[in-house]
Amino acid sequence: MVVCESGFTYLFRVYLPQAESVELVGGFTAWRDAPIRLVREPSGWWFVRLDLAPGDHDFSYLVDGCTWLPDYAASGIRRNGYGGWVSQIVVERPAPVPALCAA
């Protein structure tokens, strides 16, 4: 599950009570080059807050270093080049502020 908390800050959450580790990987982490570790809650939910740049982003969760898990509650999913599924999130650019004209 991905929730926009404010502006460009997003909360990523996934329920995996049996997992030993969960990492967020995607285009914004160069996939496996710079994974972001999620924090485990006692309830079995894992989470991380992340600021994202505007644009379309593909991502997945990497569970225990070996299982790729898409987030079906994200903005969308698509097939990747390897035949698996990845999640998508669209971060909108803020609307331009109209210029004020002096009279």
Q: Which domain holds residue 57?
A: 2-91
Predicted confidence at residue 42, as pLDDT, reads 97
Domain count, the chain: 1
In a domain, 35, yes or no: yes
Instruction: Give the residue among 77, 67, 73 at the shortest CA–CA distance from 10.
Output: 73
33 within domain boundaries: yes
* 103 within domain boundaries: no
Residue 98 lies in a domain: no
Write out the chain's pLDDT in tens, 103 residues. 898 888 889 999 999 999 999 999 999 898 888 899 999 999 999 999 999 989 899 999 999 999 999 999 888 899 998 889 999 998 877 767 676 665 5
- Dig out the tokens for 5 from the structure: 């908390």
Q: Are 40 and 64 in contact (CB under 8 A)?
A: no
62 part of a folded domain: yes
Is 97 contained in some domain? no
pLDDT at 6: 82
pLDDT of residue 33: 86
User: Residue 37 belongs to a domain with what CATH number?
Assistant: 2.60.40.10
